[in-house]
């Protein structure tokens, strides 16, 4: 399927976008997922998706949310990914994206940004390797 030009914001929802249990190729173009309590985008057991121009945004009430939480997924490509936190957030978060049991993941253009002093501290958390990718700007990241 194809999803394009969407905005999903809800301060009461725990998750903004969930993709799960599919091998069918999918594409998302121009989506803004904002202000959800626990996670903006959740991807679980998914293969063959491309997500172009994803923007997530954390605000007061979602300061502990993860931008992207992905597990058991393969062949996922992010192009021009923005993880934004508004300036009024007073506490940091250790990472924007968490990848667990994933392979063939690409980030082609990743940006962590905030007007304030508390952007995400790292772009990617790879807990099974005990590794954080600390960059706030990524040209190309590949998890094989």
Q: What pLDDT does residue 11 have?
A: 87
Is pLDDT at 1 greater than 90 in this prediction? Answer: no
What one-character-per-residue DSSP string does the chain give? -EEEEEEEE-TT-SEEEEEEEE-S-EEEEEEEEE--SSEEEEEEEEEEEEEEEEEEEE-TT-TT-EEEEEES-EEEEEEEEEEEE-TT--S-BS-SEEEES-EEEEEEEEEEE-SSS--BS-SEEEGGGTEEE--SEES-EEE-
Is pLDDT at 18 greater than 90 in this prediction? Answer: yes
- Across all residues in the chain, what is the average pLDDT? 96
pLDDT tens, 58-87? 998 899 999 999 999 999 999 999 999 999
pLDDT tens, 28-65? 999 999 999 999 999 999 999 999 999 999 998 899 99
Beta bridge partners of 82: 55, 111
């Amino acid at each position: 399927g194809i999803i394009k030009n969407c905005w999903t914001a809800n301060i009461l929802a725990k998750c903004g976008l969930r993709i799960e249990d599919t091998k069918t190729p999918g594409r998302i173009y121009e989506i803004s997922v904002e202000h959800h309590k626990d996670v903006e985008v959740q991807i679980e057991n998914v293969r063959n998706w491309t997500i172009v121009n994803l923007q997530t945004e954390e605000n007061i009430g979602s300061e502990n949310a993860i931008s992207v939480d992905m597990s058991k997924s393969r062949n996922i490509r992010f192009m021009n990914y923005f993880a934004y936190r508004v300036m009024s957030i007073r506490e940091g978060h250790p990472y924007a994206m968490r990848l667990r049991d994933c392979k063939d993941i690409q980030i082609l253009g990743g940006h962590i940004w905030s007007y304030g002093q508390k952007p995400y501290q790292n772009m990617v958390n790879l807990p099974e390797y005990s590794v954080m990718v600390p960059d706030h700007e990524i040209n190309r990241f590949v998890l094989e």
